[in-house]
Amino acid sequence: MTAGTDSPSKIAFTGRAWPVPLGELPTPVLTLDQAALTHNVDTMSEWCRASGVDLAPHGKTTMAPAVWQQQLDAGAWGITVATAYQAAVAREAGVERIILAGTTFAPDALALLAEPGADVLMWLDSVDGVRLVDDALGRVGPARQLPILVELGAPGGRTGARTIEVALEVARAVLAAENLVLAGVAGYEGALSHGTDGSALQLIDDYLASLIEFRDVLDGDAFADWLARGGDVIVTAGGSVYFDRVVEALGFRHDPEGVRGARTRVVLRSGAYVTHDHDLYRRLTPFGRTAGPETFRPALDLWASVVSRPEPTLALLNVGRRDTSDDEGMPLPVRAYRLVDGEHRPVSDAVEGAVVTALNDQHAFVRLPVGSELAVGDLVRLGISHPCTTLDKWASIAVIADGRGGPALPVVTGSVVTRF
C-alpha cells in the first residue's frame, strides 16, 4: 500500500509535510501500522490459498481503496461491499470483481452495476425483489444482464430466504428474468451468533450445511440451463469470526472437472482481519480461539491527550464517540508517554489498571487506580475494539511504518484516504 501525501483531515491545520513525529501532531490521531497491516493481508492470503478458497474481503471495513489494492495485490479474488455507493467507489478504484452483499432497487444504480468494466454480483432473497430489480433494469436498458447471488438465510438471522424451498423459488425467478443471470448462492453465518461455545458453533455448522445443500439442489434438472452456461458457480459465505468453519464446510477446492455438477468457487468475505483490533476480534477470530502458528496483529491505534485530572482516580482524554467505536467495547489504554526534555518517553505503569468507563462526543472518562502517575499533558495510546465503527469516523488515517518497534513514539510517514 502506498500512503498518500495529503494530511489526515483532523490534523490538516498543522501545515507539516511528512514525515512528522507523532508527538508533534494534535490529538486525537488514528494511526495505521503498515507493518501490521501487511502481515495481516499476507497471513489471510496465504491461509485462503492453502485452504483452497478465494477471498473477496469486505471493503466496508476500511473503505480505503489503497488498502483494497494491497489486498488485491496479495491475491484477493475481488472486494465485497454493502451498498450501491460502495460498489461505485470500488468500480472507480478499478476493482474488477465486486460482490454487493446487499440490494438496491434504484434504476440508475442498477444500470451502473451492470455496466461493463467490472463484474458486480448482487444479492437477492425474494421473488418480489427479483421482480423489482428486473423491472427497474428494464426501464434503463442495461448493457448486459446483472449477475445475481441468491441469499439463503436462517430463522433468527438477518436477510436471506428462510428455507431452501423459498431460495429455489428465488433462483427460478432469476432464471426467468430478462435482465438478470443466476451466478450462485450466498449467505452470512455471522448474523446467527458471535458465540464460540459448542452450541454456537453447531448452529453455524448447521447453517453452512444448509447452504451447501442449497447449492447441491441447484444441480437438479430444473437448473440444467443455468449450469450449462459455463463459468464458475459462486458459493460465498464467511465473516471475520467463523471463516474456519466455512472452509471446513464449503472449502472443497475449485475443480474444473465439476465434482458437484458445475465448477464451484468458494469465496470468503472476511473484512475485519485487515486491521484486526485489541479486543473483539482478538478474542473471536479463529486464530485467537485456537492454538496455531497463524495470528493477526492489531494495526490501529488511537492517540489522545490527558486534558484533565479533576479527581484522584479520574482522567479525561480528548477522544470520544466522534473518534472511536464503543458498540463492541470501550477503547483500551495501552501505554502513556510524557514530554521530557523535548522528547516523548514512556511513563512506566501509568495506565496499568486504567479503564475507559464512558465516552462523550469528544471526551473519554478513564478510571484510574489510586496513586496513578498519569498526568495532564500525557499522550495515551489506546487500542480499539471493532475496527469497522472506528474507521468510519476518519476521512483519512495517519500511517506509521512499524508501531511495535520499541518504546519510542512512531513517526507518521503519510496517510490513507477513506471513502465513507
Question: What is the C-alpha separation between 44 and 51, in angstroms, rounded?
Answer: 10
Give the list of residues 6+ apart from residue 239 with CB closer than 8 angstroms, or none: 58, 188, 189, 190, 269, 270, 271, 272
272 and 299 Cβ atoms separated by less than 8 Å: no
Between the CA of residue 262 and those of 11, 256, 374, what are the distances in Å?
53, 8, 63
- Three-state secondary structure string covering the chain: CCCECCCCHHHHHHCCCCCEEHHHCCCCEEEEEHHHHHHHHHHHHHHHHHHCCEECCEHHHCCCHHHHHHHHHCCCCCEEECCHHHHHHHHHCCCCEEEECCCCCCHHHHHHHHCCCCEEEEEECCHHHHHHHHHHHHHHCCCCCEEEEEEECCCCCCCCECCHHHHHHHHHHHHHCCCEEEEEEECCHHHCCCCCCHHHHHHHHHHHHHHHHHHHHCCCHHHHHHHCCCCCEEEEECCCCCHHHHHHHHCCCCCCCCCCCCCEEEEECCCHHHCCCCCHHHHHCHHHHCCCCCCCCCCEEEEEEEEEEEECCEEEECCCCCCCCCECECCEEEEEEEEECCEEEECCCCCCCCEEEEECCCCEEEECCCCCCCCCCCEEEEECCCCHHHHCCCCEEEEECCCCCCCCCCEEEEEEECCC
Please tell me the distance from the alpha carbon of residue 315 to that of residue 174, in angstroms, as a whole number: 58
Pick the CATH number of 35-275 from 3.20.20.30, 3.40.50.620, 3.20.20.10, 3.40.640.10: 3.20.20.10
Phi, psi of 120 (to 5 degrees): -110, 125
Taking a C-beta distance cutoff of 8 angstroms, is the pair 105, 132 a contact?
yes
Cis peptide bond prior to 19, omega within 30° of 0: yes
Cα separation, 100 vs 81, in Å, equals 5
The cell for 209 is: 450445511
**Do residues 29 and 10 make contact, with C-beta atoms less than 8 angstroms apart?**
yes
**pLDDT value for 13:** 35
Strands 343-346 and 332-340: antiparallel
CATH number belonging to the domain at 9-33+295-417, selected among 3.30.70.250, 2.40.37.20, 2.40.420.20, 3.30.300.10: 2.40.37.20
Cell of 318: 480528548
What value does the CA radius of gyration of the chain take, rounded to a whole number of Å?
24
296's grid cell:
493477526
Q: How far apart are CA 242 and CA 284, in angstroms?
A: 8
- Can you state the angle between helices 164-176 and 127-140, rounded to 10 degrees? 20
Range(s) within the chain of domains with CATH label 3.20.20.10:
35-275
pLDDT tens per residue, the chain (420 residues)?
544 444 444 544 345 578 999 999 999 999 999 999 999 999 999 999 999 899 999 999 999 999 999 999 999 999 999 999 999 999 999 999 999 999 999 999 999 999 999 999 999 999 999 999 999 999 998 789 999 999 999 999 999 999 999 999 999 999 999 999 999 999 999 999 989 899 999 999 999 999 999 988 887 766 767 766 667 889 999 999 999 999 988 765 554 444 444 578 899 999 999 999 999 999 988 987 765 667 999 999 999 999 999 999 999 999 999 999 999 999 999 999 999 998 999 998 999 999 999 999 999 999 999 999 999 999 999 999 999 999 999 999 999 988 776 678 999 999 999 999
Report d(CA 91, CA 112) in Å as an integer.
9
pLDDT for the residue 14: 44
Q: For residue 256, what pLDDT is reported?
A: 45
* Alpha carbon distance 417, 420 (integer Å): 10
